[in-house]
């Protein structure tokens, strides 16, 4: 019996609940409606589990809180497993290092913490990615075209080679496609650059995309959705963190506001996919 990959499970969940929404659980004590990180996350998960196919935890927010933050992260992962067992859990860790260190990072994310997927940096090449691919049922998103304003400093540089120069992010995507022959690799492609997301989709029809940058970062949901979707209208998730989890700071209704924001994003994405391009 073949092992179902994390991307296959994500696709099945996304299709099953008709949602491409990934909720980013990025706890910031200065913005949270209640002070307890786990209880805050638990309320968000319980409120959005019907409309989210994935949850992404940015490790920096938990590490910044020290041991209590990591304990809250561990409890959050367990709760997602219980409350939303079909949802995929992503470690947004952006790790990247030599093979032995990468192997330790992969073990930490996939075995110790139990994440389904992780974001990884490609700068050190194939041998820094290979240890992550030793887990048949897990997956990685290669950081490729990011949503931050400074992304152009490196990612848009043109590199000589082949028949014509290509931008760095296009080279990264091509390398990721080679590394991910077994269906365990996807791309991070930021919503703030929908034209570049479309370029990536045209070149890599079947690769899964993780699309950050909507909401607080200003990416257009409709443009990003249409650019990221494959020919079947699938193959991508759009992450939203602040716009969902901080939709309200009122402790009495923050979870309900998060649910409404998550549902709104799901409808916006689905509506965009029904429009011909």
Residues carrying an active site annotation: 94
Contact 108, 148 (CB under 8 A): no
Can you list the alpha helix ranges (DSSP code H) found in the chain? 6-17, 37-48, 59-63, 66-83, 99-107, 126-129, 152-155, 168-179, 194-203, 221-228, 242-245, 254-273
User: 238: closest CA among 147, 163, 151?
Assistant: 147
Q: Are 189 and 208 in contact (CB under 8 A)?
A: no
SS3 at position 259: helix
Strands 158-159 and 166-167: antiparallel
Separation between Cα atoms, residue 40 and residue 247, nearest integer Å:
13
Contact between 185 and 204 under an 8 Å Cβ cutoff? The reply is: no
């Amino acid at each position: 019996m073949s092992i179902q990959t994390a991307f296959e499970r994500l696709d099945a969940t996304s299709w099953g609940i008709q949602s491409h929404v990934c909720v980013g659980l990025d706890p910031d004590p200065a913005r949270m409606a209640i002070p307890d990180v786990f209880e805050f996350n638990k309320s968000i998960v319980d409120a959005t589990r019907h409309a989210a196919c994935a949850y992404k935890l940015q490790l920096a927010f938990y590490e910044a809180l020290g041991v209590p933050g990591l304990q809250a992260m561990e409890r959050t992962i367990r709760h997602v497993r219980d409350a939303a067992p079909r949802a995929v859990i992503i470690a947004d860790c952006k790790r990247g290092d030599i093979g032995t260190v990468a192997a330790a990072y992969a073990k930490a994310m996939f075995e110790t913490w139990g994440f389904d997927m992780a974001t990884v940096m490609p700068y050190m090449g194939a041998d820094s990615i290979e240890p992550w691919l030793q887990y048949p049922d897990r997956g990685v998103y290669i950081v490729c075209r990011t949503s931050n304003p400074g992304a152009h400093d490196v990612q848009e540089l043109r590199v000589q080679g082949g028949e014509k120069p290509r931008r760095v992010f296009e080279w990264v995507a091509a390398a990721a496609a080679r590394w991910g022959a077994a269906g365990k690799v996807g791309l991070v492609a930021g919503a703030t650059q929908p034209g570049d997301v479309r370029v990536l989709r045209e070149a890599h029809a079947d690769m899964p995309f993780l699309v950050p940058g909507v909401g607080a970062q200003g990416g257009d949901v409709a443009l990003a959705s249409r650019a990221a979707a494959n020919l079947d209208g699938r193959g991508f998730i759009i992450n939203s963190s602040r716009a969902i989890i901080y939709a309200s700071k009122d402790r009495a209704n923050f979870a309900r506001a998060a649910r409404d924001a998550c549902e709104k994003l799901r409808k916006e994405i689905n509506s965009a996919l029904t429009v011909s391009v």
